[in-house]
Structure 1
Amino acid sequence: MPKPLILVLGDQLSLDLATLRDAPADAVIALCEVAGEGRYVPHHPQKIALIFAAMRHFARRLRGKGWRVHYSALDDDDNCQDLLDEAERLAALYGCGEIRVVRPGEWRLLARLRRRKANWAIVEDDRFFCPLEDFAAWAEGREQLRMENFYRQMRRRTGLLMEDDAPAGGQWNFDHDNRQPIRRDLDFPTPPVHRRDTLTRQVLGLVETHFAGHFGELEAFNWPVTRRQALVDLRHFITHCLPDFGRYQDAISDTHPTLFHARLSAAMNIGLLEPREVCEAAESAYYRGDAPINAVEGFIRQILGWREFVRGIYWLKMPAYKRENRLGAERGLPAFYWNAETDLRCLRRALEMTRDNAYAHHIQRLMVTGNFALLCGVKPEALCDWYLAVYADAFEWVELPNTLGMVLHADGGLLGSKPYCASGKYIDRMSDHCRHCRYDVKQVTGENACPFNSLYWAFLERHAERLESNPRMKLIYGSLKRMKEEKRRAMRDQASRFLESIDWETAYGQGDHLQGYRDTREDP
């Protein structure tokens, strides 16, 4: 057998990686920092720093286990700055007859790998609950692919929150208990502060030098870059956040970015935590009596159900899925998504938190930045690339279906049965933003009216032919039909004037943060 070079990608930092489990003693393990992977979209500096710092710590861990490791640092003189070129250079350097890599999490990279003429071996990623062939078998012949049905099958398969053949607590889903709004008297836990050792400080300096033009600040960097730090975050969540996570998981705070959320997705997505150990930690808290069933079930559903479901959809439907645009959205991204300069308080705070932390929780993404883009008709490509760029946990297998399918409903209902569109009333009910906003959430038209209101009704009118027959939208379309034409026309005019006032990215890819990077991307 030829000596292999084992390429470990930046989102595969697990000792249980399939290629590492089966590696012969003479294998060379390669980890490569390359400029191309930091710039194919303008990734948030904290996201780049998280991955590079975690890679450097993982390389040190591998060496401690006795592996021969080559680490290509970003500023090495002989670094090719392209991931696949660099791996092939290292294979030649060490006399390796084969390059092994676990399936990457983006079609872009997998398509490039398949076109390579070198001796590449792509190994399936078995760090997930559901193998891709099992998901394809489950999906085959179904008229609708619904996460809830898939989730119940996964509960039965794994035994998580199962008592014999019945779900713990007597029902599968406790979502109706998880919709309480923000309250002024809530005291949110403070996340652990991770020490920045020499490796992490070196990476922060490197990223500040090489990626200074990207959207986002490095100052508040506090991501776990080792497995030990990730386990600290997991224990903190289980002890201090999980008991209240469920009921307040849809709430939004004007001042606190994390509330009771776990902020564990980035660590899971790069391999520092295994999804099973995270789910089992939550399950154990329930059986110890430390967390209620609605919180534990809701949390496990996000990992065992939703995370696995969107991954299955991604690999089942790519590459055509990325080109879906069933609602015909054609606008570029509002320019203020890159600078947070907007009078809409909810948007400003979500964008500022994203800039400062490379993080916003799922309701901020779905019902604030995502909802606004949906109502305005932002093209899926523009929003998907923005989400991929700005969030530390965003890798395309998980980001694209969530953004294109759930946020923008651009896949025609494959992922979600209805668009998650809402007026300002929803944001007012779930958050404390509106009391700080210069707009009046109770007004639909007029100079001070909340733009979400007229945009919402204009969206419903614009897409009535496609959406009014949806059973989950009949009530709201009934309300629309009962409105007098004069009121509807006033709302349309209000929405049009607001849209005309926005500074749009007129040619997608030509903004300051996007200039030039699209030329580096592979056509799927």
Structure 2
Amino acid sequence: MSARRPRAGGALRVVLGDQCTAGLSALDDLDPAADTVLMAEVQAECTYVRHHPKKIALVLSAMRHFARALEARGVRVAYVRLDDADNTHTLRGEVVRAANRLRPAAIVATEPGEWRVLEDMRGWQDAAGVPVEIRDDTRFVCRLREFRAWARGKRSLRMEFFYRDMRRRTGLLMNGDTPEGGRWNYDAENRKRLPPGIDVPAPPAFAPDAITRDVLALVAARFGDHFGDLDGFAWPVTARDAGRMLDDFITRRLPSFGDWQDAMATGEATLFHSLISTSLNCGLLDPLEACRRAEAAYRAGDAPLNAVEGFIRQIIGWREYVRGIYWLHMPDYATRNGLDATRRLPDFYWTGETRMACLRAVVDQTRAHAYAHHIQRLMVTGNFALLAGLDPDQVDEWYMIVFADAYEWVEMPNTRGMALHADHAVVGSKPYAASGAYINRMSDYCAGCAYDVRQSTGPAACPFNALYWDFIARHADRFAGNPRMAMPVRTWRRMAAAKQRALRERAADFLAAMDAGDAV
């Protein structure tokens, strides 16, 4: 990358690995004659958790491609590669080193996506001896100060009401003040089981170019012992290819996305999902533009309302909401354990070696692709972690490690909040706890399982069934006053004592075997 020395007094503009966006606020008012953009691949960011190799390769390749695109526009880029001999391997170290060499008048950055990086960024000024300006991340529809204003004074912060505000603000799927179709939410129409024999279009695969091949070799050499397969890397790493992934979704998968967005099927890793979360979260796609493209497909009669509304809700509703929740409640949010869960994460979350077909399928898929869709995350790996009482710290770390789209701002509220109900009911008013019946209804996993989903007790019974009732029993007093949990608590309390005992014994036996490392 360019090493030309700028005039002293220009700005050093720092671009992080998940900020590969031409319109990044840190690049506003950039003067190519005086300013330098710093991008640094550092070991600390690759290993603060042991990221899936595909995640590391995605970010490093996206960074290198973005740096090249900036240089093509005449922007001076100081690019630090992971294998550079003088790499300090920390963001602060590279900022200080660049400031000492370039003598900028100021350092300009866009606010990061993770609390730990913001804490580090706040120390750059003292460390480098240069004023630091941290700008809003304008790639989101809702600024953090706007979210704080929305949340102020509210007793509960439900996503649905935030989402409606975002619809009004953006005008997406609105007819004046009225939502398209007369309803805000079509989620009830998006829970169909996948019919046998349905044609599922394969998503695009983006063959690695020379830049990506170099990155893959580097990642294999340095991080080959991390969880996950590097073979078959095919994620988009440029804005152009991210746009092609979006195009493919809009034309080939969006029409069927709504009906089957909650479905799961053996051997079908992607179904009709958009696969744009990696691109959104590292800055290759504009979220509002993606929503407008989906809305245009609906207006043109090319996609049904339930599909388009569900897609838009995931982006301007859920994605924006969890970011706001994260920054509103950090750093305390990262320590919350509202259900006092302490059990160690079992080894099969890493190995996939379990007789439970659903967990085996999702872990194997995640190892191969660094991807699982939202229901696999919430209602298989997340649901099991909730029912078994797994330690939120360990579950949080697992989700951060294994998924290519995982950044703490989006991962933690989804995991600690939505899946584990550990955040003192900030994100969800009830835990998303379910027995094996839910997984059987929404997937074909149970048909190939060693356990019988129709049984609740005995060694052949689906573990989710006994674990569900054991979970209700453990937390009955806590949930009895929750209107959305009162029915299962009443059902448990009315259950015959012998049946209660058999369910809890089955749960205890299973958990004891799991804790001992026995085959479960």
- Compute the displacement of 1:40 (Å): 0.3
- Compute the displacement of 1:203 (Å): 0.4
The answer to whether the Cα contact below 8 Å between 1:335 and 1:504 also exists between their aligned partners in 2 is no
1:36 matched to which residue of 2? Answer: 44
- Compute the displacement of 1:159 (Å): 0.5
The answer to whether the Cα contact below 8 Å between 1:15 and 1:21 also exists between their aligned partners in 2 is no
Select which of 13, 21, 27 maps to 1:6: 13
Q: State the one-letter code of the partner of 1:484.
A: A
2:54 matched to which residue of 1? Answer: 46
The answer to whether the Cα contact below 8 Å between 1:91 and 1:97 also exists between their aligned partners in 2 is no
The answer to whether the Cα contact below 8 Å between 2:11 and 2:106 also exists between their aligned partners in 1 is yes
1:396 aligns with 2:403: no
SS for the counterpart of 1:305 is helix
Q: State the one-letter code of the partner of 1:141.
A: G
- Compute the displacement of 1:331 (Å): 1.2
Query: How many Å separate the matches in 1 of 2:54 and 2:269?
Result: 16
Select which of 60, 72, 85 maps to 1:64: 72
Query: How many Å separate the matches in 2 of 1:368 and 1:167?
Result: 33
Query: How many Å separate the matches in 1 of 2:323 and 2:234?
Result: 27
Query: How many Å separate the matches in 2 of 1:504 and 1:227?
Result: 47
Query: How many Å separate the matches in 2 of 1:484 and 1:2?
Result: 78
1:106 aligns with 2:114: yes
Select which of 152, 162, 166 maps to 2:178: 166
- Compute the displacement of 1:449 (Å): 0.5
Q: State the one-letter code of the partner of 1:500.
A: A
Q: State the one-letter code of the partner of 2:41.
A: E
1:27 matched to which residue of 2? Answer: 35
Q: State the one-letter code of the partner of 2:140.
A: F
TM-score of the two chains, using structure 1 as the length reference: 0.95
- Compute the displacement of 1:476 (Å): 1.8
Select which of 198, 209, 214 maps to 1:186: 198
Bigger shift: residues 200-209 or 473-482 = 473-482
The answer to whether the Cα contact below 8 Å between 1:334 and 1:504 also exists between their aligned partners in 2 is no
Give matches, 1:264-275, under 5 Å.
264-275=276-287
1:286 matched to which residue of 2? Answer: 298
Q: State the one-letter code of the partner of 1:66.
A: G
- Compute the displacement of 1:483 (Å): 0.9
Question: Cα RMSD (Å) of the superposition?
Answer: 1.1
- Compute the displacement of 1:19 (Å): 1.2
Query: How many Å separate the matches in 1 of 2:424 and 2:264?
Result: 28
Query: How many Å separate the matches in 2 of 1:95 and 1:321?
Result: 38
Select which of 76, 94, 111 maps to 1:86: 94
2:82 matched to which residue of 1? Answer: 74
Query: How many Å separate the matches in 2 of 1:182 and 1:350?
Result: 17
Q: State the one-letter code of the partner of 1:100.
A: V
- Compute the displacement of 1:98 (Å): 2.3
SS for the counterpart of 1:303 is helix
> Which string of whole-angstrom CA distances, capped at 9 and with x for unpartnered residues, describes residues 389-438 of structure 1?
11000000110111000000001211011100100000000000001000
> Which string of whole-angstrom CA distances, capped at 9 and with x for unpartnered residues, describes residues 427-458 of structure 1?
00000000100000001111110000000000
SS for the counterpart of 2:484 is helix
- Compute the displacement of 1:504 (Å): 7.0
1:303 aligns with 2:315: yes
Select which of 41, 55, 59 maps to 2:63: 55
The answer to whether the Cα contact below 8 Å between 1:258 and 1:361 also exists between their aligned partners in 2 is yes
Query: How many Å separate the matches in 1 of 2:385 and 2:259?
Result: 27
> Which string of whole-angstrom CA distances, capped at 9 and with x for unpartnered residues, describes residues 133-152 of structure 1?
11111111111101011110
SS for the counterpart of 1:70 is strand
- Compute the displacement of 1:83 (Å): 1.3
Query: How many Å separate the matches in 1 of 2:199 and 2:504?
Result: 41
Bigger shift: residues 162-171 or 198-207 = 162-171
SS for the counterpart of 1:216 is coil
Give matches, 1:414-493, under 5 Å.
414-493=426-505
The answer to whether the Cα contact below 8 Å between 2:417 and 2:423 also exists between their aligned partners in 1 is yes
Query: How many Å separate the matches in 2 of 1:214 and 1:468?
Result: 43
- Compute the displacement of 1:90 (Å): 1.3
Query: How many Å separate the matches in 2 of 1:382 and 1:176?
Result: 33
> Which string of whole-angstrom CA distances, capped at 9 and with x for unpartnered residues, describes residues 75-112 of structure 1?
00011111111121012112223222111100011112
1:513 matched to which residue of 2? Answer: none
Query: How many Å separate the matches in 2 of 1:311 and 1:462?
Result: 31
Query: How many Å separate the matches in 1 of 2:192 and 2:487?
Result: 23
What is the count of residue pairs matched by the alignment?
Answer: 505
- Compute the displacement of 1:182 (Å): 2.1
1:263 aligns with 2:275: yes
Stretches (4+) displaced over 4 A: none
TM-score of the two chains, using structure 2 as the length reference: 0.96
Q: State the one-letter code of the partner of 1:327.
A: L
The answer to whether the Cα contact below 8 Å between 2:456 and 2:462 also exists between their aligned partners in 1 is yes
The answer to whether the Cα contact below 8 Å between 1:13 and 1:272 also exists between their aligned partners in 2 is yes
Query: How many Å separate the matches in 2 of 1:317 and 1:309?
Result: 12
> Which string of whole-angstrom CA distances, capped at 9 and with x for unpartnered residues, describes residues 279-310 of structure 1?
00100000000000000001100000000110
Q: With CA pairs under 8 Å and 6+ residues apart, which has the higher RCO, 1 or 2?
A: 1
Q: State the one-letter code of the partner of 1:439.
A: Y
Query: How many Å separate the matches in 1 of 2:111 and 2:280?
Result: 16
The answer to whether the Cα contact below 8 Å between 2:208 and 2:233 also exists between their aligned partners in 1 is no
Distance 1:96 1:504, change over 3 A: farther
1:512 matched to which residue of 2? Answer: none
The answer to whether the Cα contact below 8 Å between 2:344 and 2:390 also exists between their aligned partners in 1 is yes
- Compute the displacement of 1:503 (Å): 4.2
Bigger shift: residues 21-30 or 315-324 = 21-30
Query: How many Å separate the matches in 2 of 1:165 and 1:310?
Result: 25
- Compute the displacement of 1:470 (Å): 1.2
Query: In percent, how many aligned pairs have the same letter?
Result: 53
Gaps of at least 5 residues in structure 2 are 1-7
1:176 matched to which residue of 2? Answer: 188
Query: How many Å separate the matches in 1 of 2:258 and 2:99?
Result: 49
The answer to whether the Cα contact below 8 Å between 1:332 and 1:378 also exists between their aligned partners in 2 is yes
- Compute the displacement of 1:502 (Å): 1.2
- Compute the displacement of 1:70 (Å): 1.3
Q: State the one-letter code of the partner of 1:18.
A: S
SS for the counterpart of 1:472 is coil
Q: State the one-letter code of the partner of 1:41.
A: V
Distance 1:281 1:49, change over 3 A: same
SS for the counterpart of 2:236 is coil
Query: How many Å separate the matches in 1 of 2:392 and 2:232?
Result: 30
The answer to whether the Cα contact below 8 Å between 1:332 and 1:504 also exists between their aligned partners in 2 is no
